[in-house]
Structure 1
């Protein structure tokens, strides 16, 4: 006699449906843009009804915010993996910088995080998301470097915001075909310019 297949809990089904919606929406938002994507096609691509979509997300903007949050978390995870505490503060900043530029090369990511994200969610909404993810990683790296006395002490929030903007501009330029090594060289010079060594 065959054992009965394990039944998924309501929570498992809810999480699976939510993941399917986010995955389908990400694909459509990067292929067509946020503005050109409708909720009916997202529901079809996810294999759910529109009612199920609206059960999980209040509207298309809320679904987009979930997609952006997931992308930002993925970028931060790559940065964190590349810059473990075992590295010196400067080496962690360099490794994290390289990881950020690499992570932003994932197709569609610059559109989601740097173009459509601010346009749809507003600068304040993107700043909130960034503060939980890539900017958090950058801020922690800068604080560690200042504590290790390997970097000039500067107002950390302002420094984080300005360096993050430089990284974002680099990612956009690289996405548009600019030489990545040129942007990396300048970013490393910025980091080294803050060094006390």
Structure 2
């Protein structure tokens, strides 16, 4: 008799437990951003950028707003989407966010402050320089500045294109202080491993 009662009680407990599990609402999966939109704004001689991550239904999943910077002739903010990461350039700082949820992954400081020109290699290392900047930077996938090269000896300025082939990176420039001819190709070739200048013209 006691055994039968225990079986009945156990059956009742299992029944109640199953009802409770069914009645607990399942938490909906948080939507992930699939696209990223950025907008630069100017107000009161200040520049700022708003970056938004949007889901498949174009709803805002996350938002990132830069600080306000004194506006110059060169843009001080820039946004690049690279695979699952969003690179936000704000003056001399790079903030990297995770694309799906906007989580800040890392920040690199003291790089080119305006007119950012960028290139990624096959390992997702980032190379950065600026329109008026004499320096070229290599930034790792974790935000560490691997090298910083002073390229002023070439006397080139206004960089407009970066290309990478093997272990060499070439930056093309519009102008040279010693040669005002815009027809001539001004360039600097770097070793991407250590930043050493291999040649320039």
The TM-score normalised by the length of structure 1 is: 0.24
Bigger radius of gyration among the two: 2
More strand by share: 2
Higher relative contact order (CA 8 A, sep 6+): 1
The TM-score normalised by the length of structure 2 is: 0.24
More helix by share: 1
